[in-house]
Amino acid sequence: MVEYFEKEKLVRLFGDLSSENVSEIEQFLIDKLSTTDYLLIDVEDLKRIDPACIFMLYIVKVKAIKRGKEVSIRGSENSLYKEIIRANALHLLNS
């Protein structure tokens, strides 16, 4: 579900990201942002992701920007991720 690599400031999301675990993942990301100015979120190994979870990533990114921090998303070429972004017009998440 989630791994954190301190040295790289990398959060690797894998498996399923759904409404069942979205709050837990969001809190994890917010907690990590309280200890660093930069976070890289890797979504390449997600097998399932709900549109609500994509929106959560967007909210985390907005919160980071408001705090003067940066969040980047790696693996946005994941076909599942791309399809949900396209279907829900959330292209700004990758900017």
**The pTM is what?**
0.81
Q: Does residue 62 contact residue 30 with C-beta atoms inside 8 Å?
A: no
Q: For domain 2-94, which architecture applies? A: 2-Layer Sandwich (3.30)
Residue 83 has a pLDDT of 65
- Confidence band (pLDDT; 50, 70, 90) for 88? low
pLDDT (mean) for 34-43: 93
How far is 36 from 90, CA to CA, in rounded Å? 25
Domain chopping of the chain, boundaries: 2-94
Q: Could you tell me how many helices (H) and strands (E) the chain has, helices first?
A: 3, 4
Question: In 3-state terms, what secondary structure has residue 77?
Answer: coil
Residue 91 has pLDDT above 80, yes or no: no
Going by C-alpha positions, the residue among 67, 75, 69 that lies closest to residue 17 is 75
pLDDT tens-digit map of 39-83: 999 988 888 888 788 889 889 989 999 999 999 888 766 666 666
